[in-house]
A and B are shown apart, each in its own frame.
Chain A
Amino acid sequence: MTGQAPAASGDVLIRVDNLVKHFPVRTAGFINRTVGQVQAVDGVSLAIPRGTTLGLVGETGSGKSTLARCIAGLIPATSGTVHFEGRDITNLPRQRMAPFRRNIQMIFQDPYGSLNPRRRVGAIIGDPFAVHKTVPADERKRKVQDLMERVGLNPEHYNRFPAEFSGGQRQRIGVARALALRPKLIICDEPVSALDVSIQAQVLNLLADLQREYGLTYLFIAHDLEVVRHVSTSVTVMYLGKIAEAGPKNPVYDTPRHPYTAALLSAALAADPEAAAARQRIILTGDIPSPIDPPSGCRFHPRCPKAQELCGRQEPPLEVKAGDAATHLAACHFPVTAGEKLATASRRARP
């Protein structure tokens, strides 16, 4: 699946081309022998126009977080490139990455694990200022309190410890820290999946407000399809390290082409109970296969209700399917057509 990122209109802020991340699997012991590769991300291309939100969805183990960490430069990519505002930032050493760090920040999934329990909230939010020296030390406290106020925290709680906050408040601390350097891109790695539903909405609204106010671009990772639909401009669906389907939000949600997307959508809770009742559920059997030894051909074929002999032999390219807009891509030999009934259970055969 080589080639260019999907054509995107407007000014592309970040562009990922054919990104690959393999983790070597080593034997334990004195001499570490590499016995395999976890193909966490295997040739992913995407582009995010400035000021928009790209929703990245997929099951646990589909490589979403690995992709995010490669883009943020936290782990080196095996191959492929990441361009930020047209400049190549793939695998830059730390010092040369510094100017880009200011522009690419992350919000993490676990609001309990992502804040150092031994440090006060003021110090945590002020960390980016201290590292990049963008704000003199005597102005830091005021700046941090401004940030706290902006994300809906009480600035009086400057000297508290993370343990004294609720999950939602902690995630606001994480948002404030990511916002401190005024980045252009914020990578949100499942920012709300650890929160209660009522709190999720508050944090999502905060993120939307900030996007409007500062013109932020988001790469928004989630496994909750409704959340992604709510926040995203376009959606990319990943399965086992590859892109299954990508495109603007509405076409992907309304007329999914890849059976995996269709299955995910059929499993999501719908707000409208009548629509939910009318909907046909596609139940996938089995777990996501091991990325150490992914299935041949289309990686989804062992679980796919539409799989045929070709699917196990040949990998489908990510391309525009007949009748779709030029921005809607799917990697499937036998794309789902609108209104098509899929078998409710996939074949049990495993390779």
Chain B
Amino acid sequence: MSITDLERQAQQAENAPVHAIEGRSQWSLTRQRLRRDKVAMASLAVIVIMVLLAIFAPAFAVLVHHPANAAYPITGENSAGQPVGPGTNGFWLGTDDTGRDLMVRVFYGARISLFVGIVTTAIATVAGVTIGMIAGYFGGIIDTILARVTDAVLAFPYVVLALALAVVFGPSLTIVIAVISFFSWAGIARIVRGQTLSLKEKEYIEAARSIGAGPLRIMFIDILPNLLAPVLVLATLYIPSAVVFESTLSFLGLGIQPPTASWGSMLSAAQPFYQTAWWFVVFPALALLITTLAFNLLGDGIRDAMDPTTERLVAARRRKGPRGSPSRSRNDDLDLIIAGDAK
């Protein structure tokens, strides 16, 4: 290759159209780290499966020819009128107290639980972020009022209020969503307020004001993107508590009303049968446990993935290897020394 060739190449490179180079965003780094987190990925898979089961619950009902609310006194109950166990008469997970298919009802329960969990978290997040951001950004008397209201909501004995509301308005899905949303926004608002308080002191907020940006523009364009990371983690962790809250209300008879399937009301109905029909208790409880655990672990995973310092911690842990392994690294020796000193 001659020098003129090189020159021609350089010329071509210079004449190439100017196109913007895409930067790697915080989000793409977070996604990358999250993908390496096995626990978080497993949790995500569990959540996806649970969502699919909820969506296709009617299809399962068709598949096993057992509609969710249909009782089968002949095939679904034994001669003593008790529920039949898993695998009996085509009931894969057994039946409940009135001879309905437990598997179909657990899947239908997932619809209610996930719907309530996601809808209430969405409402609570929007309300909490709006209120927290307004309180934190404007400060002064607005902040004082909003922060006190937030504290008041957090201090409320929510089960008592839920009981009262259910008695007054009659139990329904709407009331359940309203009550859970009402008690969830405050926690988010408080954290968002704190974050906003620290963000608004940043110099780039002052730069935005010096350009002439108004409060709305500053809140939505400059502050909100910086809040998304903590809010996303919070929201992921609020979904399972909303699911549990819904189950609690339904368990107490204040939430979803029979015959609509809900994990909470199923557990409530299963109480007298825990000695005779274990499946009636175990499967709804297991569904609840797996769902809440998956959301919590995913939330933890997202939090770790967003914090750039955790990567090093994970790597350090991996280097050290499992505890008590014969191949001992220098780190382990250090740990032993520290442990020895502590004794």
Within 8 A of B (CB), among A53-77: 69, 72, 74
- Least CB distance from B335 to A in Å reads 34
Within 8 A of A (CB), among B274-322: none
State A119–B202 Cα separation when bound (angstroms). 14
User: Which of A97, A109, A158 is B212 in contact with, Cβ under 8 Å?
Assistant: A97
Residues of the B chain whose Cβ atoms lie less than 8 Å from the Cβ of A69: 206
Q: Contact: A118 with B206, CB < 8 Å?
A: no
State A128–B22 Cα separation when bound (angstroms). 22
With known contacts A120-B23, A161-B23, A74–B226 Cβ distance under 8 A: no
Closest to B224 in A: A118
Q: Contact: A159 with B23, CB < 8 Å?
A: yes
Query: Among B203, B212, B214, B217, which residue has the most Cβ atoms of chain A within 10 A?
Result: B212
Q: Contact: A156 with B207, CB < 8 Å?
A: no
Closest to B210 in A: A106
- Stretch of B13-21, B75-83, B172-180 lying at the A interface: B13-21
State A113–B206 Cα separation when bound (angstroms). 10
CB of B204 closer than 8 Å to a CB of A: yes
Residues of the B chain whose Cβ atoms lie less than 8 Å from the Cβ of A97: 212
* Chain B 198-226 near chain A by CB (<8 Å), digits 1 or 0: 00001110111111111001000110011
State A122–B22 Cα separation when bound (angstroms). 11
Residues of the A chain whose Cβ atoms lie less than 8 Å from the Cβ of B225: 116, 118-119
State A323–B104 Cα separation when bound (angstroms). 100
- Least CB distance from A21 to B in Å reads 15
Closest to B27 in A: A118
State A106–B202 Cα separation when bound (angstroms). 15
CB of B331 closer than 8 Å to a CB of A: no
Interface size class of A (residues with CB under 8 A): 35 or more
Q: Contact: B210 with A115, CB < 8 Å?
A: no
Residues of the B chain whose Cβ atoms lie less than 8 Å from the Cβ of A108: 203, 206-207
CB of A164 closer than 8 Å to a CB of B: yes
CB of B26 closer than 8 Å to a CB of A: yes
With known contacts A120-B23, A159-B23, A161-B25, A94–B206 Cβ distance under 8 A: no
Within 8 A of B (CB), among A106-155: 106, 108-110, 113-120, 122, 127-128, 131-132, 145, 155
Closest to B19 in A: A156
CB of A105 closer than 8 Å to a CB of B: yes
Q: Contact: A127 with B19, CB < 8 Å?
A: no
User: Which of B22, B24, B204, B212 is A94 in contact with, Cβ under 8 Å?
Assistant: B212
User: Which of B206, B211, B226 is A128 in contact with, Cβ under 8 Å?
Assistant: B211
CB of A177 closer than 8 Å to a CB of B: yes
Residues of the A chain whose Cβ atoms lie less than 8 Å from the Cβ of B203: 108-110, 113-114
With known contacts A131-B212, A177-B207, A116–B18 Cβ distance under 8 A: no
With known contacts A113-B202, A156-B18, A74–B210 Cβ distance under 8 A: yes
Query: Among B25, B210, B213, which residue has the most Cβ atoms of chain A within 10 A?
Result: B210
Interface size on B, residues (CB 8 A): 26
Residues of the B chain whose Cβ atoms lie less than 8 Å from the Cβ of A281: none
Q: Contact: A127 with B202, CB < 8 Å?
A: no
Q: Contact: B213 with A157, CB < 8 Å?
A: no
Within 8 A of B (CB), among A64-105: 69, 72, 74, 94, 97-98, 101-102, 105
With known contacts A116-B222, A119-B225, A127-B213, A158–B20 Cβ distance under 8 A: yes
State A6–B283 Cα separation when bound (angstroms). 85
CB of A26 closer than 8 Å to a CB of B: no
Q: Contact: B20 with A101, CB < 8 Å?
A: no
State A319–B20 Cα separation when bound (angstroms). 56
Q: Contact: B19 with A131, CB < 8 Å?
A: no
State A117–B209 Cα separation when bound (angstroms). 17
Q: Contact: B21 with A114, CB < 8 Å?
A: no
With known contacts A118-B225, A177-B211, A74–B206 Cβ distance under 8 A: yes
Q: Contact: A74 with B211, CB < 8 Å?
A: no
Q: Contact: B210 with A101, CB < 8 Å?
A: yes
Q: Contact: A116 with B213, CB < 8 Å?
A: no
Q: Contact: B204 with A115, CB < 8 Å?
A: yes
State A122–B214 Cα separation when bound (angstroms). 20
CB of A230 closer than 8 Å to a CB of B: no
CB of A348 closer than 8 Å to a CB of B: no
CB of A212 closer than 8 Å to a CB of B: no
Q: Residues on B close to A: CB < 8 A?
A: 18-26, 202-204, 206-214, 217, 221-222, 225-226
Please give 19 more A-B residue pairs, beta carbons under 8 A apart, in addition to A116-B202, A161-B24: A72-B210, A74-B206, A94-B214, A105-B210, A106-B207, A106-B210, A108-B206, A110-B203, A118-B226, A119-B225, A120-B23, A127-B213, A127-B221, A131-B212, A131-B217, A145-B18, A157-B21, A158-B21, A160-B23
**16 residue pairs from A and B, CB less than 8 Å apart:** A94-B214, A102-B212, A108-B203, A113-B203, A116-B204, A119-B222, A127-B211, A131-B211, A132-B211, A155-B20, A156-B19, A156-B21, A158-B20, A164-B23, A164-B24, A177-B207
Q: Which 7 A-B pairs have the closest CB atoms?
A: A160-B23, A113-B203, A101-B212, A118-B225, A158-B20, A114-B203, A159-B20
